[in-house]
Structure 1
Amino acid sequence: MTIQRMDNVAIVVDDLDAAVAFFAELGMEVEGSTHIEGPWADRTVGLNVIRSEITMLRTPDGHGRLELTKYHAPALSGAGSENPPPNTLGLHRIMFAVDDIDDTVDRLRTHGAELLDEIAQYESTYRLCYLRGPAGIIVALAEQIG
């Protein structure tokens, strides 16, 4: 037996509204939001007395999904620095293909995004950049040019 699909990527954030606005500006569409709590959630995640909110977003093509989660309880874990560098072990970035990287960066800057360095060109095929979004999330953007 093999997997059927990758269902979603989940990211824990401290400001759910800001994170949803950021990814909506990027072009993701909100599927829905809900509160999560109860013994089933505790057993699933392995934490006690979970109280959280989630918002599920999807890419315009309907194939990719992102779950943004804000925990109200238990207290957030302080696993590492607030803005870990891109080479930190573990999940550290999410990448999106865009049709206009300059416009996308400009729009995301209005939501607090900051480039880690600059938009760079890889050979004659891509323009790429990393930027830091809400909750320190590193978002990579790629525009195919060749």
Structure 2
Amino acid sequence: MTIKRMDNVLIVVDDLEAVKRFFIALGLTLEGETTVEGPEVGHLIGLENVRATLAMLRTPDGQGIELDKFHAPHAIRFGPVDAPVNTLGYRRVMFAVDDVDATVARMREHGAGIIGEMRYEASYRLAYIRGPEGIIVGLAEAQGS
């Protein structure tokens, strides 16, 4: 048996509203929001007395990003907010865009900072930006052809 598809990526956040605004400005759509709690949720994720608000966002092609704000138990910050890309663990999500420059400019208006950018031969233009809570987003623009 093989994997059918990637369903979603989870990002635990403290300021749910700011991170939602960031991803919506990037071009994702808010699909829904709910609060989950209780022993079944706790059993699934290995925590007790869980209460969390979840927001599900979708890319134009249907890929999901789930944002979770834990009310109980409170989320634990592991490392600095501006941890570098080579920090162990999940570090970034990357999106294909039509225009890196326009996307970076638009996201700067929403508080994003540029980490760096480069051109990969004649095929890709790449940029890394940092959004709320240190979230790193990669932007890839196909070049030529």
TM-score range normalised by the length of the shorter chain: over 0.9
Q: Distance in 1 between matches of 2:124 and 2:76?
A: 37
Q: Does 1:12 align with 2:12?
A: yes
Task: Give, as a single letter, the amino acid of the residue that structure 1 aligns with 2:128.
Answer: Y
Aligned to 2:132: 134
How far 1:25 moved relative to its partner?
A: 1.0
Give the conservation status (yes or no) of the 8 Å contact 1:18–1:111. Answer: no
Moved over 6 A (4+): none
Report the AA paired with residue 24 of structure 1.
Answer: I
For the pair 1:144 / 2:142, whether they are aligned, the reply is yes
TM-score by length of 1: 0.94
Superposed CA RMSD in Å reads 1.1
- Measure, in 2, the Cα distance between the counterparts of 1:30 and 1:78: 25
Q: SS where residue 94 of structure 1 aligns?
A: strand
Aligned length: 144
Query: In structure 1, how many angstroms separate the alpha carbons of the residues matched to 2:133 and 2:87?
Result: 15
Q: Distance in 2 between matches of 1:123 and 1:97?
A: 17
Which deviates further from its counterpart, 96-105 or 70-79? 70-79
Contact 2:12 2:75 (C-alpha < 8 Å) held by counterparts: no
**Counterpart secondary structure, 2:36:** strand
Q: State the identity %.
A: 55
1:51-66 aligned at under 5 Å gives the runs 51-62=51-62, 64-66=63-65
Structure 1: unaligned runs, 5 residues or longer: none
Residue 85 in structure 1 maps to residue 52 in structure 2 = no
For 1:71, the aligned partner's letter is: F
CA contact (8 A) 1:35 1:53 kept: yes
Asked if the contact 1:37–1:49 (Cα under 8 Å) also holds between the matched residues in 2, the reply is: yes
Separation (CA, whole Å) in 2 of partners of 1:57 and 1:86: 23
Letter in 1 for 2:22: F
After superposition, residues 1-146 of structure 1 pair within 5 angstroms as: 1-62=1-62, 64-117=63-116, 119-146=117-144
Give SS of 1:53's match: strand
Structure 1 residue 13, shift from structure 2 partner: 1.0
TM-score (norm. length: structure 2): 0.94
